[in-house]
A and B are shown apart, each in its own frame.
Chain A
């Protein structure tokens, strides 16, 4: 069967629809080349021109593969695989001549649909892919069925997909979810946006421009005040004059929290960030299973978070942390790079001479930030070699990382153990879903100092300059917020409501569709009354469910086979037709009685009169007004023999 021009066009459309979302992450030359190949095929179809010869396609294909190899330095992995698929599918279209070739393109398109979910599993992506699937099925029908216009074909395709929906639902619920890497996404499936183990001037302010969700929090009962919502991330010890890094913090000494009070329990749904740590409020007291706390009170999971993860955790908002801190840790909190920032050291030294009490020095420092003309901005001026000095004495404009860094530097110079803590602060309350959303724009950095008798105490120098940052949000704290993402500024209320609604929907989507893992499956199936949930029983139920649905559909389609004819005239007539069919002359469904008997009598001319009599009687009984003799008709049918 040769392919018509509209079929080729719809194949091109299909490939375009499945490949276009990939343009976002494919190298530009690949997107351009794929588009060119599709256009070329379209042009050839339009011109009804012959397809390029194998001697042109073969080197082209080899060149494409080689170029991909050079571009990615590899021929394996997700990116390379997707790139290869996109290009080879477009190339395949250039040698599509028969319906069989077209089917190969259809299968490739189906596979490419799946690859789109490697990059995004959001609702819009799913909706787009459903639409694309519809076009694929319609194109498929166009290849297989007689040529009709695209619109009724789309209608037919939607009906088919709807009929398949119950099967899909059963398979989704019952297909055994096996824990392990086999079912997970590729390791590089998620770009790692979020906090990292290092902090330098500008790294946090850049992060706060992103509106991406970091995690969502549901509090069990007590909701802490906003200024208590410090979500602990990496703790930074080492400073080289510009960059803060974590250094070597281990899992050696267990944390000692005394006078712990104000417990809060909450569960966090963490977006994948490719790092191992989990976020918790200061200070975590009951960890989720498979989680550990390091010496800096940071919580770690066993594996990298490469899929959306939900965990329940408990924290105490009031505490004394490590009153007896190890000498070595206290020493770590005093290290400073030599020779840099002399003026800051000098300032700290004057504070030290005036006060002997560590806590008084902390207060002095905070007062210093508060009373001197410091300002809080997303776009601070660049800093040079003695960055802390420049910041403290000349530019005096900075974001939270500047304040945290300068504060910790001053403390260390004044001989008080101190460290930088990064994480998130605050969050946005979603009234519809009754949960908090913490976004990348809530990223924050603060300080911790160790004071004898109090342990590690959180000090947020940003709160001394811009208290609104901690009490309300970032936008309130900035004088000029034009650099922020639009939604982080002060958008209209309806837009905020819309975003809340969308996020609530997307949260449900994540919980129930994307996050439908083995535990969820177990919970759901037990609630549905399955007593023994194992993969064998699930497989059995799956087969059973699928068979029931298919059997029900089949019965529905064959329903006319056992609907008994109640009309005696029609029953006798059908019996007659059946006998004639057995004799080798079956009635066509649209054949009228007289047409039928005249056809039979052309085979059996001797019975012509009897046959016509039967047909006449049938017509009179079934379509006539006067009531003809039913018995005579039944008798005629019964006694009739060929």
Chain B
């Protein structure tokens, strides 16, 4: 792993304490050019993680708080009439930034959600007939509240698929929490962060990820996983080919973070849960939703 990546991780871990795995996953997601969905209860540090990542990676950052009355124009921007020049001038919305934090994305109506999700997919937006490219890199971290909370519009499966990963943060452990409670205000800490990467470095890292070698034996493993999800009675639908590509991209990024030149089954297993959990719907009817990733991991033999 490059020195700068190590620094990124170290700096993030200073603020988001006790969550090394989630930080690495978020970073892997970014390096694989995917978007990240964080699902958890309010107040566990979803927003802070996004802030810290943006600051540390030196990305231009915008936050959009999703509410039930949010309109697409609030995200994309709007043309306003200019009296002095007597024509319309486009006022770019918050979407025109390198890193977007879409907070509580499932509180907005499907119309507003789809404005964001289309931008994610296309890497460009079309407003009033003019297509405008979004800045590069373009990375969306969306947070959402668990579906059982009041006033949420759950994202449909097709839109969930656009997020490369979904992670959960969870409560910090006792030691980490103690540090959190005793330490300085996180917001102050975030202000003082310095970027550890520049955009060019980030680009080159993303290119390195794409070049990580994947052996036929590993493809066998990925295909075995996909096949299992499609044939097993435990899931309503199997994973799509797009999900297979996502799994491979995430595993490549993970391999890079681990400083390897080729992907091992370990890498696939490390990202499997966060790639597959939100894409697979369990057929199990009773009780808590099982950890689909762990279930899947245990069920598929490595060929």
> Does chain A have a CB within 8 A of B264?
yes
Q: Are B301's CB and A590's CB within 8 A?
A: yes
Q: How far is the CB of A310 from chain B (nearest CB, A)?
A: 46
Contacting pair B266 A592 (CB below 8 A)? yes
A147/B284 contact (C-beta < 8 A), A594-B266, A623-B262, A625-B262 known = yes
The proximity string for B residues 259-303 relative to A, scoring 1 for CB distances below 8 Å and 0 otherwise, is 001111110010000000000000111100000000001111110
A-B residue pairs in contact (CB < 8 Å), sample of 11 = A149-B285, A151-B283, A152-B233, A589-B300, A590-B300, A590-B301, A592-B269, A594-B266, A619-B264, A623-B217, A623-B262
Question: By the criterion CB–CB under 8 Å, are B285 and A147 in contact?
Answer: yes
Whether A148 touches B284, Cβ cut-off 8 Å, given contacts A590-B301, A592-B302, is yes
Most chain A beta-carbon neighbours within 10 Å: one of B234, B261, B262:
B262
Q: How far is the CB of A147 from chain B (nearest CB, A)?
A: 6
Q: Scan A149-182; emit 1 where CB is below 8 A from any B CB, else 0.
A: 1011101100000000000000000000000000
Residues of A close to B265: CB separation below 8 A: 592-593, 623
Contact: B302 with A589, CB < 8 Å?
yes
Interface residues, chain B, CB within 8 Å of chain A?
A: 213, 215, 217-218, 233-234, 236, 261-266, 269, 283-286, 297-302
Measured between alpha carbons, how far is A623 from B215 in the docked complex, in Å?
5
Over the window 482-526 of chain A, the binary record of Cβ atoms lying under 8 Å from chain B Cβ atoms (1 yes, 0 no) is: 000000000000000000000000000000000000000000000
Docked Cα-Cα span, A414 to B233, in Å, equals 84
Report B265 CB to chain A, min CB distance, Å: 5
Check if A92 is an interface residue, CB within 8 A of chain B: no
> Is residue A240 contacting chain B, with contact meaning CB distance below 8 A?
no
Excluding A592-B265, A594-B266, 5 further A-B contacts by CB distance (< 8 Å) are A147-B286, A148-B283, A155-B233, A590-B299, A592-B264
Q: Which residues of A contact B261 (CB under 8 A)?
A: 624-625
Residue of B nearest to A151 (CB): B283
Cα separation A594 to B258 with both chains bound (whole Å): 14
Q: Which chain A residues in 38-74 approach chain B with CB under 8 Å? A: none
Instruction: Say if the beta carbon of A24 comes within 8 Å of chain B.
Output: no
What are the 8 tightest A-B residue pairs by CB atom distance, in nearest-first order?
Answer: A589-B301, A152-B233, A625-B213, A149-B283, A623-B215, A148-B283, A592-B265, A592-B266
Bound together, the chains give a CA A566 to CA B234 distance in angstroms of 33
On whether the beta carbons of B233 and A591 are closer than 8 Å, the reply is no
The secondary structure that dominates the A interface is: helix
A-side contacts of B302, CB under 8 Å: 589-592
CB nearest to A624 among chain B residues:
B262
Within 8 A of B (CB), among A108-167: 146-149, 151-153, 155-156
The answer to whether residues A148 and B262 also contact, given A4-B286, A623-B217 and a CB cut-off of 8 A, is no
Task: Please give, as numbers and ranges, the residues of chain A lying within 8 Å of B286 by CB-CB distance.
Answer: 4, 147
Interface residues of A (CB under 8 A from B): 4, 6, 146-149, 151-153, 155-156, 570, 589-595, 619, 622-625
Nearest neighbor of A567 in chain B, beta-carbon distance: B217
Interface centre among A148, A153, A619 (most CB of B within 10 A): A148
Task: Tell me whether chain B's interface is mostly helix, strand or loop, or mixed.
Answer: loop
Min C-beta distance of A148 to chain B, whole Å? 5
B272 to chain A, nearest CB (A): 10
Taking A148-B285, A594-B266 as contacts, is the C-beta distance between A624 and B213 under 8 angstroms? yes
Cα–Cα, bound, A622→B263 (Å): 10
CB-defined contacts of A591 to chain B, threshold 8 Å:
302
B233/A623 in contact, CB under 8 A: no
For A145, give the chain B residue with the smallest CB separation.
B233
Q: Which residues of B contact A570 (CB under 8 A)?
A: 217
Which A residues are in CB contact (< 8 Å) with B301? 589-590
In the complex, what residues of B have CB within 8 A of residue A149's CB?
Answer: 236, 283-285
One of B218, B234, B269, B298 near A623 (C-beta < 8 A) = B218
Complex: A592 Cα to B303 Cα, angstroms: 10
**Do B233 and A156 touch (CB < 8 A)?**
yes
Nearest-neighbour CB distance to chain B for A158, whole angstroms, equals 12
CA distance A4 to B285 in the complex (A): 11
B285–A590 contact, CB under 8 A? no
The minimal Cβ–Cβ distance linking B187 to chain A, given in whole angstroms, is 40
| Cα–Cα distance between A592 and B286 once the two chains are bound (Å) | 32
- Chain A residue nearest in CB terms to B255: A623
CB distance A148 to B234 under 8 Å?
A: yes
For B217, the chain A residues whose CB sits under 8 A away are: 570, 622-623
CB-CB under 8 A for A590 and B266, given A6-B285, A147-B284 = no
Query: B233 — which chain A residues lie within 8 A by C-beta?
Result: 148, 152-153, 155-156
Q: Which residue of B lies closest to A152 (CB)?
A: B233
Shortest CB–CB separation between residue B175 and chain A, in angstroms?
A: 25
**Which residues of B sit under 8 angstroms from A622, Cβ to Cβ?**
215, 217
Q: Which residue of B lies closest to A560 (CB)?
A: B301
Instruction: Give Cα distance in the complex from A288 to B300, angstroms.
Output: 67
Bound form: Cα–Cα A233–B144 in Å: 83
Q: For B282, give the chain A residue with the smallest CB separation.
A: A148
Q: Given the known A-B contacts A147-B284, A152-B233, A622-B217, are A595 and B262 also in contact in the complex, defined by CB atoms under 8 Å?
A: no
Q: Give A404 Cβ to nearest chain B Cβ, in Å.
A: 67
Chain B residues near A625 (CB-CB < 8 A): 213, 215, 261-262
Min distance, Cβ A397 to any Cβ of chain B, angstroms:
68
**Interface centre among B213, B218, B302, by most A CB within 10 Å?**
B302
Most B CB within 10 A of own CB, among A156, A590, A591: A590
For A589, the closest partner residue in chain B by CB is B301
* A281 to B269 alpha-carbon distance, docked (Å): 81
Task: List A contacts of B218 (CB < 8 A).
Answer: 623
Chain B residue at minimal CB-CB distance from A591: B302
